[in-house]
Amino acid sequence: MQKIVELEHYIVILSALILWIVLYYVRRMLVRRQSTTTTTGIHIGNGQSIGRREEQDDYFSSSTTSVGTFAVIADGISGLSNGRMASTLAVTVFSKEFLMLEKTEDFTDFFASAATQSNSGILANLNGSNGGTTLVAAVVTSGVLHWAAVGDSMISVFRDGEFIPMNSKHTVETSLLREQVLSGELTKEEAEASPVRKHLVNYLGYEGFRNMEIGEPFSLRKQDKIMLASDGIYDALSEVELELMMKQKKPAEDIADDIIEQVDAKGLRNQDNATVIILEKGW
């Protein structure tokens, strides 16, 4: 009789423990879903992988105020020391400046000012050492996308099954080699084989930093998705692969998870840090 009572006691405790675990994970899922939908109705998904690097030099953030929804990715330059410091500082500055915005007409000044502050801050911290970061930032307000970029991180709008690229890459390939191909100085094959084609010509933390590329406001349509990505994403996955995942009828967070899982599944020997943010309007 004593053994039966003890057994029943253990069963009650075990059942309570199982119930607590189930409720804990249900709560986590609910919090996760709630946290990816902003008060402005923008669904946010994000994902990140360290790849084959020893350190995570990508840094990202998103926030929402009465002005709109903001997202930013900075990719600390691989091969340079202090990449992590540069990306973290830049995202922190941009995020802080966005939270101080009060009017929607200030976006151009906001992007330009945050970039100048970031570049100066990174250079001051470097104190003559090497370092730097790319950065791509987006603000969605009243159905309109405002964006700015420097370096080779990308922002695109996914519409009707295809990507519409917003920014251009600030690399030797797009700035110098392309001109040399057009002028006949190089063949297309020679340009593609150039060992410096991916070298950046403009980034934050660069003594010769000029300015960010700031785009014209882009009107969004129903079911458009906005994708911000570091080069670890688009160097690992083809445009077709990304399009197939973006077509899925899934929440933005799940699509971002799928993209990161696919990057990791490739198992590329030199896989860079990879970060993606997806913004989708809840129409």
Same domain, 1 and 79: no
Amino acid at 161: G
Rounded distance between C-alpha atoms, residue 212 and residue 136, angstroms = 9
Distances (CA, A) of 145 to 30, 52, 62, 161, 218: 28, 33, 14, 19, 5
Same domain, 160 and 214: yes
Q: Which range marks the domain in which residue 5 is found? A: 1-35
Same domain, 92 and 217: yes
pLDDT, one tens digit for every residue, the chain (283 residues): 555 545 555 554 555 455 444 433 433 343 343 344 555 689 999 999 999 998 999 999 999 999 999 999 999 986 666 899 999 999 999 999 999 998 777 799 999 999 999 999 999 999 988 889 999 999 999 999 999 999 999 999 999 999 999 998 755 444 444 444 345 454 545 444 444 445 577 899 999 898 999 999 999 998 899 999 999 999 999 999 999 999 999 999 999 999 999 999 999 999 999 999 999 976 4
Same domain, 61 and 109: yes
Same domain, 134 and 13: no
* Token pair of 219 as six digits: 């009107």
Contact (CB, 8 A) for 44 and 277 = yes
Contact (CB, 8 A) for 96 and 186 = no
Count of the separate structural domains present in the chain:
2
Same domain, 236 and 129: yes
Same domain, 22 and 162: no
Same domain, 100 and 156: yes
Same domain, 217 and 248: yes
Same domain, 58 and 159: yes
Same domain, 63 and 20: no
Rounded distance between C-alpha atoms, residue 44 and residue 57, angstroms = 22
What CATH code is carried by the domain that includes residue 224? 3.60.40.10
Name the helix (H) or strand (E) containing 261.
helix 252-266
Q: Nearest to residue 153, comparing CAs of 240, 93, 89, 213?
A: 213
Same domain, 25 and 79: no
Burial class, 91, CB count within 10 angstroms (exposed 0-12 / middle 13-18 / buried 19+): buried
